[in-house]
Structure 1
Amino acid sequence: MQIPLSVLDLAPIARGESVSSSIAASVALAQRAEQCGYERVWYAEHHNMPRIASSATSVLIAHVGAHTSSIRLGAGGVMLPNHAPLTIAEQFGTLEAMYPGRIDLGLGRAPGSDQPTMYALRRDPTSSDRFPDDVLELQGFLAGESRVPGVQAVPGSGSHVPLYVLGSSMFGAHLAARLGLPYAFASHFAPQALEAAVAAYRREFQPSAQLDAPYVIAGVNVIAADTTSQAQEQHAAMRRALAVGLFAGGQDLSDVEADVLLRRGAGQHVDQMFTYAAVGTPPQVADYLRGFRDLVAADELITAHQAPTTEGRLRSVELTAEALERESVA
């Protein structure tokens, strides 16, 4: 493919579906991405969200790894302040031992939850302040150069699982540059600082043992369908689902009620989150992704396929890859 593509699987639990069916859909999505030549599939850590099934990220990665053979799998990301670095080193060291050369570890400092859930996780409200030090401690465990005397990660020590810094602000950009790590920007839902953050990251980048030059992954929403009308219908369903998830207070609203919610202000918020979205037929999506890649000269795009059904997401993954593959051959 002309543009290196990856997939961010949000592991959605659709209305009327179960967690089991959501996990089965994640397996199918990774298998389709592998068949279509995508670089990697990442899963994000979220908690207390009724419509997302990726809270136990490392467990999900292990399951998907058993049903795929070559595509890279990873966290996009683990919210490190929720965990001890040693625990994450052991988890991802175990994954690397199970699936050698296929595991990534993206790291974020957000809670991935609300205040009551932070309490339930036993998270110190100031733990995000330690994020840079925790990244270094985790890096030491994975490199076999522990910063904690007498403590090694087993499994994990010497595994050199590659780290990625995730971010949606200048903080992550500065940290990734200082540590010489790849930088993945969450422009699929927090687009405001994309250009400034990427520019700062490239300007300040310091080479490291893992990476000798800046590497930028940019997130983008995708709904690729066989016809424009199908893509627009799926986009409308996505807007409703997101509005309900964010603003309905846990209620399961009808489409009519969700449309009212969108008109009352939720729509503006949803559309701002989805500033970067490729919606349409394969040629339209390919054209959008080329322009988005060029906006920040991204080295790789990680695509969040937002169709409301598993079949729609699988088709979107397939059509997007085929469209870009045709362009690279032409």
Structure 2
Amino acid sequence: MSKWIPKLSVLDLAPILAGGSAQDAYRRTLDLARHAEKLGYHRFWLAEHHNMPGIASSATSLLIGHVANATEKIRVGSGGVMLPNHAPLVVAEQFGTLESLFPGRIDLGLGRASGTDMRTIQALRRTLGANGAEFPDLLNELRTYLDAHPNHSGVRAVPGEGLNIPIWLLGSSDVSARLAGRLGLPFAFASHFAPDGLHHALNAYRSSFVPSKMLADPYVMVGLTVMAADNVEEARYLATSEAQQVLSLLHGRPDKLQPPVENMDALWQPQEKALISKQLDFGIIGDRKTIREKLPAIYEATEADEFIITSHIYDHQARMRSFEIVAETVKEIWT
């Protein structure tokens, strides 16, 4: 195949394991970030979620700083910050601080959804009036604060103003895709949990793209669930932790990441199995051969510039091994 190797990145939610704590999760996150850096991964992103017992990345900007301080070269950022949950000025100041501490290494990925339930939205925002329609205005306000020559009623983001912090738009539909295209921003699609809308969103992004100071051409990142092991049976066994987590969300009872099980059929109904299996089928669960078969096909279908990999594996060493197998196999495919 081509000598060109697609960029690989990591999406981490600092998963909290059954029987574990957020403190344990942060230790594993740092371990994974250092490992990813050694393996040549391009970015390490953390995602904002709230009121989720199994996710410890709610204070996303704090955790980004923690990871950036523990690594040397890998880019660190948000995948993403849910902008409607925050005042744009606060986001500008937080990421201005991060960029000032770790120059040239910080990414600001933004989502238009809440990333949580209605009660938590009210606790975060103190109002239920926001529905995503305000996202373009919030984004414009944020970009104004970060501009080198702001014009925003005398309110300035210090630090933040004039800093070159790459802004990404994230989405699971064509709404953010079209906005990213019109603004000439890079776009990341969350196909790891919403694969059905992938091709429509990518087409919308590319067809609406207008070159900007940041980008001359469209730039697409595709999110993928990948659980790799030295044999297919082990990978499928490890993947039952992710299946249990999705199942707990379907039941409205989000939980910590559970150990893998031998038989998921004892836990889910046939319709739940079909729904979760469909979501995971777009990802890659298997060994090196599975990756060599599926990843080039996904690339051909998406022409992605970058893949961002998420992997909810209960055993830490198995998770580290999974990212290692992915990185090694990608080099084998594209060289």
The TM tier, using the shorter chain, reads over 0.9
Question: Quick one: distance in 1 between partners of 2:292 and 2:127?
Answer: 44
SS in 2 for 1:221: strand
2:164 counterpart of 1:160: yes
Q: Which residue of 2 aligns with 1:137?
A: 141
**8 Å Cα contact 2:15/2:312 also seen in 1:** no
Q: Which amino acid aligns with 2:117?
A: D
- 8 A Cα contact 1:231 1:279, kept in partner: yes
User: Which among 46, 56, 62 is matched to residue 59 of structure 1?
Assistant: 62
2:280 aligned residue: 274
Partner SS for 1:219: strand
1:299 matched residue in structure 2: 305
Letter of the 2:83 counterpart: L
Per-residue deviation, 1:141: 1.2
Q: Which amino acid aligns with 1:50?
A: P
Residues in 2 aligned to 1:168 and 1:57: alpha-carbon distance in whole angstroms: 20
What is the alpha-carbon distance in structure 1 between the residues aligned to residue 252 and residue 187 of structure 2? Answer: 33
Quote the Cα distance in structure 1 between the aligned partners of 2:310 and 2:292: 15
* Offset, 1:264: 5.0
Q: 1:16 to 1:272 in 2, by over 3 A?
A: same
| Cross-structure match for 1:242 | 246
Equivalent residue, structure 2, for 1:196 = 200
Counterpart amino acid of residue 92 in structure 1: F
1:86 aligns with 2:89: yes
Structure 1 residues 250 and 206 mapped into 2: Cα distance closer, same or farther (>3 Å)?
A: closer
Change (3 A) 1:313 1:123: farther
> 1:256 offset after TM fit, Å?
8.9
**CA–CA distance in structure 1, aligned partners of residues 174 and 41 of structure 2:** 28
Q: Please, which of 74, 78, 91 is the counterpart of residue 77 of structure 2?
A: 74
User: Which stretch of structure 1 is more off in the superposition, 164-173 or 237-246?
Assistant: 237-246
Q: Which moved more, 1:125-134 or 1:35-44?
A: 125-134
Matches within 5 A, 1:73-152: 73-127=76-130, 128-152=132-156
Question: How far off its partner does 1:250 sit?
Answer: 5.1
* Residues 251 and 53 (structure 1), Cα distance of their counterparts in 2 relative to 1, 3 Å cut: closer
Q: Distance in 1 between matches of 2:126 and 2:268?
A: 34
Q: Residues 245 and 255 of structure 2 are in contact (CA less than 8 Å); yes or no, is this contact kept in structure 1? A: no
The corresponding residue for 2:333 is: 327
Q: Give the counterpart letter for 1:227 in structure 2.
A: N
* Cross-structure match for 2:295: 289
**Is the Cα–Cα contact under 8 Å of residues 191 and 275 in structure 1 kept in the other structure?**
no
Q: How high is the TM-score relative to the length of structure 1?
A: 0.94
Aligned pair count reads: 329
Say which of 315, 320, 323 aligns to 2:321: 315
Q: Indicate the SS of the match to 2:134.
A: helix
Matched residue, 1:213: 217
Change (3 A) 1:234 1:37: same
Deviation at 1:192, TM superposition (A): 1.3
Deviation string 1:275-309 (CA, Å, 9 cap, x unpaired) is 41111112321331111121111111111123222
* Aligned mates of 1:99, 1:284 — CA distance in 2: 37
User: Hey, what does 1:182 align to over in structure 2?
Assistant: 186
Gaps of 5+ in 1: none
Q: CA shift at 1:104, angstroms?
A: 0.3
Alpha carbons 2:245, 2:254 under 8 Å: kept: no
Helix, strand or coil for the counterpart of 1:106?
A: strand
Q: Tell me if structure 2 keeps the 8 A contact 1:45–1:55.
A: yes
Q: Output the CA distance in 2 between the equivalents of 1:117 and 1:300.
A: 32
Deviations 1:53-82 (A, max 9, x none): 000000000111111000000000000000
Could you list the per-position Cα deviations for residues 116-140 of structure 1 after superposition, in whole angstroms to 9, with x for gaps in the alignment?
Answer: 1011112533332210011111112
Note closer, same or farther for the CA distance 1:147–1:262 as it changes in structure 2 (3 Å cut): farther
Aligned-partner Cα distance in 1 for 2:197–2:254: 30
Whether contact under 8 Å (1:137, 1:146) holds in the other structure is no
Does the aligned pair in 1 maintain the 2:52–2:255 contact within 8 Å?
no
SS at match of 2:268: helix
